[in-house]
Amino acid sequence: MTTTKKTIAIVNGTGRQAASLIRAVTAVGYAVRAQVYSTEGLVAEELAELPNVTLFEGSLLDNPVLVDTIFEGAQIAFINTNPLAGDEIKIGKVLANAAKKRNIQHFIYSSMPDHSIHNPKWPSLPLWACKFTVENYIRQLGMPSTFVYAGIYYNNFTSLPYPLFCTEFKTDGTVEWRAPFHPDTKLPWLDAEHDFGPAVLQIIKDGPNRWGKGQRVALAFENLTPRQVCDAFTRALNLPCNYVFDPQIEVKVGVPNGYRQQLLGLEVLFGQYNAPYFAGPDFQHSGRRKDSNDTITGRNSSESPRGKPGKLTDLARTLWPGWRSLSEYFATAFLVEEEANGKTWMVDKTQST
């Protein structure tokens, strides 16, 4: 006897988080109703070919008909809004209201912290704080909800001259990563395409009785310092990679104004204050951060199964034991993404072009 799987409403379907989830849930029989900003492009075309996927094209801003259509017939929702697609707070609240109206049984929201509420010296990061504002609004609605916090994507690394995660090839044959993260401060990481979807799928399968009480879940499968990241790069590719701490982020290409403000905030938050990437007691574990005012103790989603303070990565690895390490990512998927970006260093072993 077959069991009918539920339908999941998803927005920003071609984003790394949503696309990973769509691939995972459709592989085990769930139906998906997903909003996309365009049905053209490789990812949208791939998703359209997956079983039981219906795509709806259009903007979410001031588009109540589209918003309501996405949730029609759905029992579960995964929401990760695009900060560059309009007023993210307005969009987030509209989506939450529509989900409440449609009696969504489990509302999973991709959030991020507002550091300013934990320390008056820490700035709010504009692309993160708006998500936290929406999270608090969702909590007021009383829906069974889960709030996932994604670590830094492995996929952010590129030899293209983008700010923050550029692996720059030097003339002496080495690779340099320059960023405002302190060299020995651990940061949360995940392979967004490989691991995000399966982890959230497990949350969906466990259901709202387990995860619908407003828990914050850190989706981080590695907790590595910048120096350890460069060590992983070197091991995987046999290319010496050096980390350079620089409290100022060099911007070599045009970036949207909102992202530029985000980068300025990152310089202060991490370069100056060495704040924790995930702020708040839900994500803390034993120890004290060097050059930080935070004393860190374990509780909530970062606790080990026995209730003792655990590692930040424990919960994510329990949800999805098949996670990919950063070293494995560099040895495999990173090369594919570099080739897709027109890079040839993998073949000729010379300076990136």
Condensed to tens digits (0 to 9), the pLDDT of residues 86-134 reads 899 999 999 999 999 999 999 999 999 999 999 999 999 999 999 999 9
Instruction: Supply the pLDDT for residue 38.
Output: 96
Residue 305's alpha-carbon distances to 175, 298, 302, 331, in angstroms, are 40, 12, 9, 32
Q: What are phi and psi of 214, to 5 degrees?
A: 80, 20
Sorted by where each begins, the domain ranges of the chain are: 5-151+192-219
Instruction: Supply the pLDDT for residue 4.
Output: 65
Q: What is the DSSP string of 230-297?
A: HHHHHHHHS--EEEEE-SS----S---HHHHHHHHHHIIIIIIT---SS-SGGG--SEE-TT-S-EE-
The average pLDDT across 250-260 equals 90
Instruction: Supply the pLDDT for residue 281.
Output: 87
The Cβ-side half-sphere exposure at 102, using a 13 Å CA radius, reads 23
Instruction: Supply the pLDDT for residue 123.
Output: 97
Instruction: Supply the pLDDT for residue 297.
Output: 32
The answer to whether 183 and 226 are in contact (CB under 8 A) is yes
The answer to whether 122 and 275 are in contact (CB under 8 A) is yes
pLDDT, tens digit, 9 for 90 and up, residues 167-185 = 999 999 999 999 999 999 9
- Among residues 323, 333, 335, the alpha carbon closest in space to that of 151 is found at 323
Residue 47 above 70 pLDDT? yes
**What's the chain's average pLDDT?**
91
Rounded CA-CA distance 174/20 in Å is 33
The average pLDDT across 239-266 equals 94
The average pLDDT across 150-158 equals 97
Residue 243 above 80 pLDDT? yes
Number of H helices, E strands in the chain: 13, 15
326 or 352, which is more confident: 326
The average pLDDT across 196-207 equals 99
Instruction: Supply the pLDDT for residue 283.
Output: 86
Instruction: Supply the pLDDT for residue 351.
Output: 52
Q: Can you name the CATH fold of 5-151+192-219?
A: Rossmann fold (3.40.50)
Instruction: Supply the pLDDT for residue 5.
Output: 83
